[in-house]
Amino acid sequence: VFPKTVAEFRQKTTSGGAVSLVCSVLILLLTVTELVDYMQSTVEEHLEVDTSRGRTMTITMDLAFPALPCSVVHLELQDVSGNHLVDLSRNITKERLDRDGRHLQEHELPKGNEEIAQLAKAASLDHGRDGAEFNIGSNKRRKPLVVGPGENVPLARLLQELLPNVVDDEAAVAEMRSHLGEGCHIHGALQVGKVAGNFHFAVDRNDQRTMMTVFGQRDSINMSHTVRSVSFGEPYPGLVNPLDGMHKIIDKGSGYFQYNMKVVPTIYKQRRGREVHTNQYSFTEIFRTTAETDRLPAVFFNYELSPIMATFTETSRGLGNFLTGLCAIVGGVFTLSGVVDALIFHLFAHQHGPSGMTA
């Protein structure tokens, strides 16, 4: 259609070669940019009323309590439909931690608290009957430490038999003391209905007298915690769980933590056709000291379902659109290069006269 110019009428110039080289590089860069844009996908957002009632959702959690033994802290679940599950253990794993956050083996003593743990375990084996006496080896002479009734064994036995609900259970106290200095790593998943509710970590499932005997007062029950992860379903690209990595460390006293979460049902439609039914959430938090509330220290996660569902759909450019873009790049750059080359050639020809037009 467009015949080539006869070789006698073509003239090679240095400026023409430079323009051709620049245009080739420009075409390459624009082609790579177009290819990257074609491979990537964009996400379209859409909001609609959630009609998926009666379904369930999975709550995945991973928390660490650096100052509470696993034998003290308990997980409970409650929702508005009347379900109330206490001391949950199904699909929930508890792992003992030392003060450095290292996982302890089954019979390993907590680091830095070996003496207390050994004394308490000795009393626990005694079951509060005769009083446990334990000597800790040292170069210096030490007075034996007594855990349990000790010198008042007969009186302790009598009071335990007459007032079993009033007198402290020395075995339970000793067992709880044996884990002092430990922390607890709790992780797992809960399958719950899509209704408002809460899950919380509390200590009120323990015997109150035993708790107060070991800890002395409510302020000594340190509810410091780290939220490593809390989610309400399967993750999808771009999902952010705002509670992940939250650190709440109490240096003095204790209190009642409350996280109020607004859960938004979400559908993520991938480009290949797979749909991910999950949830995202936002939260607010409240903290009250033990002096401000008449409750034992605890960590509550209250969740409420939003009536609005968010839908995210991955979209990408079609192949025809990509090929059209490539043709536009190549044709446009060649056209522009011809114009630039002609301008440069005529500019030099005008400045140098006829002699400047020779090759």
pLDDT profile of the chain (359 residues), mean per 10: 51 70 86 84 87 84 92 90 84 87 75 54 48 39 38 44 52 76 91 92 77 81 92 92 92 90 94 88 93 87 94 84 84 81 72 50
Residue 205 in contact with residue 116, Cβ under 8 Å? no
What pLDDT score does 266 carry?
Answer: 94
What is the C-alpha separation between 226 and 219, in angstroms, rounded?
A: 19
How big, in percent rounded to 5, are the helix, strand and coil portions of the chain? 30, 30, 40
pTM higher than 0.85:
no
* 239 exposure class (CB count in 10 Å sphere: 0-12, 13-18, 19+): middle
What pLDDT score does 176 carry?
Answer: 77
What pLDDT score does 258 carry?
Answer: 95
Looking at the chain, how many residues does it have?
Answer: 359
Pick from 310, 263, 306: nearest CA to 283: 263
Pick from 331, 334, 352: nearest CA to 342: 334
Q: What angle do CA 265, 270, 274 make, to 5 degrees?
A: 85
What pLDDT score does 82 carry?
Answer: 85
**What is the maximum span of the chain, computed from C-alpha positions, in angstroms?**
128
Beta bridge partners of 278: 266
Residue 215 in contact with residue 67, Cβ under 8 Å? no
